Structure 1
């Protein structure tokens, strides 16, 4: 039987490639990712373990803006090394004007996280298990 080793990559479609490219480029630079590839309407980053891609939505896709609660993507979380890293991510988000959905805090026992939105309102998370 086949066994999954890891999540290799996530791809999201975005409404405005230029706006999302700017947001994700800053975020991934902060998180230590490097650009893997860049095309006119697609871009991918990697940290050696995780790969993340954005693609420009097509005209039909642009008619249906993202809404959390619809069938599909709910949120995506990056595991960070410490609570301090979560706090530093929140500080970066604040400096860059990103919308913070839920500020850094302990959401469950030993689960510390910050939740934020990309330019299309897709929910993202930086989190850490433990103290």
Structure 2
């Protein structure tokens, strides 16, 4: 049953090519596949859920996104294991992606919350977290 599950998420980005390169790599590592592609957007799908990235219009690029303003703070994805979190952390570093709370990694969310936090090209926070055991 899919009632209550997220159908899709649509995010406007400042540079579609840069965001598609960043998100495409990450989402495909998690098992997503390209779903749709058009001149001003692209989406990836896993199961019945898809994530869409759309190029923001030039007239709206004067105000940069900030996760502490009203609106979306971050997206969090399930990891399959602690090993996947560590492998992804290493890959993110290899790609020069900014790791957040690196001094507290992998327990920045608390001792029972094993995760890596990082930023996308527009500085949105992204989290890859191991589901709790309890």
* TM-score, normalising length: structure 1: 0.90
Where do 5+ consecutive residues of structure 2 fail to align?
none
1:16 Cα deviation from its structure 2 partner: 0.7
Considering only aligned residues, what root-mean-square deviation do their CA atoms show, in Å? Answer: 1.7
Equivalent residue, structure 2, for 1:13? 12
Q: Which is richer in strand?
A: 1
1:108 to 107, 110, 114: 110
Match of 2:125 in 1: 123
Give distance in 2, aligned partners of 1:28 and 1:8. 16
Cα distance in 2 for residues equivalent to 1:88 and 1:23: 17
- Three-state SS of the structure 1 residue aligned to 2:114 is strand
TM superposition shift of 1:5: 2.5
- Report the alpha carbon displacement of residue 82 of structure 1 after superposing the two structures with TM: 1.1
Distance 1:68 1:110, change over 3 A: same
What is the correspondence of 1:17-32 to structure 2 with a 5 Å cutoff?
17-32=16-31
Off by >4 Å, runs of 4+ in structure 1:
none
- Structure 1 spans left out of the alignment, 5+ residues: none
* Equivalent residues, number: 129
Q: Output aligned runs, 1:50-69, within 5 Å.
A: 50-69=49-68
- C-alpha distance in 2 between matches for 1:48 and 1:36: 11
1:91 aligned onto 2:93 = no
Q: For residues 96 and 23 of structure 1, what CA distance do their matches in structure 2 show?
A: 9
Q: Separation in 2 of the partners of 1:50 and 1:82?
A: 21
The alpha-carbon deviation at position 4 of structure 1 amounts to 4.2
Deviation at 1:49, TM superposition (A): 4.0
Q: Which TM-score applies when normalising by structure 2? A: 0.88
Q: Deviations over 1:86-119 (max 9, x none)?
A: 1111111111121111344122242111101000
SS across alignment from 2:106? strand
Offset from partner CA, 1:31-70 (integer Å, 9 cap, x none)? 1110000001110001114311100011222111101211
